[in-house]
Structure 1
């Protein structure tokens, strides 16, 4: 006797083909066996699922409703089986990561390289977004893991700090004389300011810090990427707020100059996040292990130095 799950699988194939005979070919069954299976399912459910005609079959209203749920359920089962296969050997599968361009370029790239070397058959899919967008990607299942600017306040997410970063103010050659002075934040307001756009978590962190000290900023330029902020500052369009760790090349080459402030902005972090309630795939678990092991080694190296 065919089990209930098998009956639903046969039902789904018949519904997609609108034919017992075509479904039988797809299922490697005889047409009478397919017909008998559907009669059995209709009997167990106590309702007619198909309108039978000489040209084939069509779903009844009840059949259409059942098909929506059956198709979804079978899709989840197939996804589950794929996850199990991935868990066993990591010879196939996909890892979806949400991350912004800057964090990807200056922090994540070595980890991606290490993971790809170890598991070359795992497809890496990167979804770009701001911190708030990445958190939404995680919750909607569009990505497995996200890498964001902290702090994040969200009880549904598992948060892991990866590395600390420092926000600073920089200028180009035009304002170079400012770099030899000790400045207050109020002094910066006399000059054109260059910031990331408002939806950026980095911008919000600095802006909240300044507002807490009664300083309200109105940037002349609000840009969509950290690289643009650096280039605008280099072009002498104003004083820019940037992440020091992501600006080292500009600072070391003398394209930009760091300003000295009487009070530094507190350091913040880059971190990894994923849903607490949903188990990670095998590929995601391995990637997390790589991140955690390398981050730990980095911290140990810093302490020894």
Structure 2
């Protein structure tokens, strides 16, 4: 009975609406309200605040949700494993990564994999490297593709790809591509980068810090597509993974700016959770990713 109450709370917190939670759980809305009231009385706290559009979590409710999410993630995982035992011809894998890594490194693999295994469903979840690590820890994804290094004791890490970083410009600053530029000279131009929470931004700051310099980007963007467009129209010098702009470089839409410092390669890794084996479907996809 206690687990049922927490399950009702968990689904309601995700749906943020009593009616939607009732429909998902195949019970009535009064049953949802009664279960939430029981749990609130048991814990001695208020879990939700009613609004005109539904409900929102209180601070105490948010704390409870953070603790029980991994539990229900593991329950979902267990149910998935049982389903595979019943029907070996079905299965699914959920993989998480940033928008850019999914687009440039995962989607081509997913397309060919699904041609080979049409019965296996592949689901994608996006997020930054810290968010993907959290999703894996909470049991929301099977496999993560992240920028290395990361320090986590609960996950397995395998180096997957080496990538190169570079500075790029549009036609407005094309003259910079015809010479070798000192790193400090880059600071004389508007700099375009991802937000400060991204691993690419931290790597950019690391490059300048090693030379005793501080970089403060003038323009922050949330996707590689927007970064590319900003560079194209001449808004400044963009810092980006070179493999993601090869097409634009080859077609003369963007130009690479070479600096007088060697930019070290970065690593992209595949991560899985320790002590929890991958499902048959997830393991098949994981091994396929590792094939060269």
Q: TM-score, normalised by structure 1?
A: 0.69
- Supply the distance in 2 between the matched residues of 1:108 and 1:95 (Cα, whole angstroms): 13
Identify if the C-alpha distance between structure 1 residues 174 and 117 changes in structure 2 by more than 3 Å, giving closer, same or farther.
same
Tell me which residue corresponds to 1:15. none
Q: Which 5+ residue runs of structure 1 have no aligned equivalent? A: 1-7, 13-60, 66-72, 298-305
Query: Which structure's CA Rg is the greater one?
Result: 1
- Supply the distance in 2 between the matched residues of 1:79 and 1:196 (Cα, whole angstroms): 34
Secondary structure, aligned partner of 2:153: coil
Which of 119, 131, 135 lines up with 2:117 in the alignment?
Answer: 119
Q: Do structure 1's residue 241 and structure 2's residue 239 form an aligned pair?
A: yes
Identify if the C-alpha distance between structure 1 residues 210 and 92 changes in structure 2 by more than 3 Å, giving closer, same or farther.
same
Deviates more, 1:108-117 or 1:173-182: 108-117
The alpha carbon displacement at 1:276 in A equals 1.4
The alpha carbon displacement at 1:226 in A equals 1.0
How many residue pairs get aligned? The number is: 228
Q: How does 1:1-305 map to 2 (within 5 A)?
A: 80=78, 82-86=80-84, 90-293=88-291, 297=292
Deviates more, 1:88-97 or 1:187-196: 88-97
Identify if the C-alpha distance between structure 1 residues 136 and 289 changes in structure 2 by more than 3 Å, giving closer, same or farther.
same
Identify if the C-alpha distance between structure 1 residues 273 and 101 changes in structure 2 by more than 3 Å, giving closer, same or farther.
same
Note the alpha carbon deviations across 1:138-190, whole angstroms, 9 max, x for none. Answer: 00111111111222222222111111111100111111111111111100000
Identify if the C-alpha distance between structure 1 residues 280 and 209 changes in structure 2 by more than 3 Å, giving closer, same or farther.
same
Secondary structure, aligned partner of 1:222: strand
Secondary structure, aligned partner of 1:161: strand
Q: Which 5+ residue runs of structure 2 have no aligned equivalent? A: 5-37, 43-70
Secondary structure, aligned partner of 1:233: helix
Tell me which residue corresponds to 2:26. none
Tell me which residue corresponds to 1:31. none
Note the alpha carbon deviations across 1:213-266, whole angstroms, 9 max, x for none. Answer: 211111110100111111100010001101100000110110111011111210
Tell me which residue corresponds to 1:36. none
- Supply the distance in 1 between the matched residues of 2:209 and 2:75 (Cα, whole angstroms): 51
Deviates more, 1:93-102 or 1:251-260: 93-102
Identify if the C-alpha distance between structure 1 residues 287 and 75 changes in structure 2 by more than 3 Å, giving closer, same or farther.
closer
Note the alpha carbon deviations across 1:38-93, whole angstroms, 9 max, x for none. Answer: xxxxxxxxxxxxxxxxxxxxxxx9xxx9xxxxxxx999789646414425764223
Q: Are 2:136 and 2:273, in contact at CA under 8 Å, matched by a contact in 1?
A: yes
- Supply the distance in 2 between the matched residues of 1:207 and 1:253 (Cα, whole angstroms): 29
Identify if the C-alpha distance between structure 1 residues 166 and 216 changes in structure 2 by more than 3 Å, giving closer, same or farther.
same
Q: Are 2:170 and 2:232, in contact at CA under 8 Å, matched by a contact in 1?
A: yes
Secondary structure, aligned partner of 2:288: helix
Runs of 4+ in 1 over 6 A off after TM superposition: 73-78
